Amino acid sequence: MSFWFTIREGFKGFSRARLSTTLTIISIFFSHYMIALFLMASYNFEHWVDDFRSRVELEVFLEPGTTDNEAQQLRRQMMDYKEVEKSRYISKDEAAARFEKEFGRSVFDVLQSNPLPTSIVLNLKPPYRRAAALEKLTKKLEALSFVDEVVYPRRVITLLDRYMKVVYLAGALVLLLLLLITFVLIYNTIRLTIFARRDIIEIMQLVGAKRNFIKRPFIIEGLLQGVIGASLSMAAAWGSLHLAQTYILSSLAFKPLYLLPVLLSGLVIGYISAGFSVAKHLKEI
């Protein structure tokens, strides 16, 4: 009996404060729609960054006079490193072919000889594609015999890591702001509902109704507002993704499961803000 009364009263709260409830759901919708879009953008941004990192190569140039046999032994030694995913050896002849492909002229036409060094190109495993890990590996490689120099786009990787931190920090602050706005909206809606039912709540207290019994319908109302607004935002975000894939960029991707935090956020924010509002205003009655 108490359970069904709580559910009915929670739903009735919608009809008692229709305007404020509707405005709150709309506000929750827009705030969580922005959160969903942020999650989608973060997913694709991270995917693009990871794709770029996967194509970053370390080229280990060997000292002049290093034989092919010594180079191959060194390559096998590097393959034992935990950071290395795969490697390939570039001989002097292959280096000359690369030069001709990139510059359109044979190295022999330009220099009458082939001074290009042999090298070993390394591709790294995902956890070791960041600036700090690359710098550490570079020092380890430069300490090896026959190694002359290690080259990779150091400045690009360093800037990428730095700006990634800025992007995620800014995103986290925006998310916190959106959640705070949603909290305040639901808090004030529940407050208006309590004020409208002040006399009924006083009568319930006089006849001995417990505080938890009085609070539960408002908690249900807050949860409903949160879940409805969040669910609508998830549907809108998913529709926006499909429109963007069709008309803007077909390579955009996302997994529906990753939108569950949006629904969870609506539930949690609805529960917490309603709980705070009820707890505070029951003390004032």
Residues 126 and 210 in one domain: no
Query: Does 250 share its domain with 184?
Result: yes
| Domain closes at, from 152, 169, 185 | 152
Residues 35 and 175 in one domain: yes
d(CA 248, CA 246) in angstroms, rounded, equals 6
What domain range includes position 256? Answer: 2-51+160-284
CA distances from 33 to 47, 167, 185, 187, 266 (A): 21, 19, 16, 20, 11
Residues 254 and 197 in one domain: yes
Same domain, 133 and 72: yes
CA–CA separation, 203 vs 192, rounded Å? 18
* CA pair distance 215, 282, nearest whole angstrom: 8
Total domains in the chain come to 2
Instruction: Tell me: do 103 and 89 sit in the same domain.
Output: yes
Kindly report the number of other CB atoms within 10 A of residue 35's CB atom. Answer: 25
Same domain, 191 and 250: yes
Same domain, 37 and 146: no
| Same domain flag for 78 and 45 | no
Number of H helices, E strands in the chain: 10, 4
CA pair distance 272, 278, nearest whole angstrom = 10
Q: Tell me, yes or no, if the pTM score tops 0.85.
A: no
Per-residue confidence (pLDDT) for residue 1, from 0 to 100: 44
Considering the domain architecture, whether residues 148 and 169 belong to the same structural domain is answered as no
Q: Which of 88, 119, 152 is the last residue of a domain?
A: 152
Strand segments (E) across 108-169: 119-124, 147-151
- 64 and 171 in a single domain? The answer is no
Domain end point (choices 152, 182, 203): 152
Per-residue pLDDT of the chain (285 residues; tens, 9 = 90+): 455 655 666 566 666 667 777 877 888 888 889 889 888 988 888 888 888 888 888 999 998 888 888 888 999 999 999 999 999 998 887 877 776 677 777 767 666 666 677 889 999 999 899 999 999 999 999 999 899 999 999 899 999 888 888 888 888 888 888 778 877 877 777 677 667 667 766 777 777 767 777 777 778 888 888 889 899 999 999 999 999 999 888 888 888 888 898 999 888 888 887 777 777 766 655
DSSP H or E segment with residue 57: strand 57-62
Residues 44 and 166 in one domain: yes
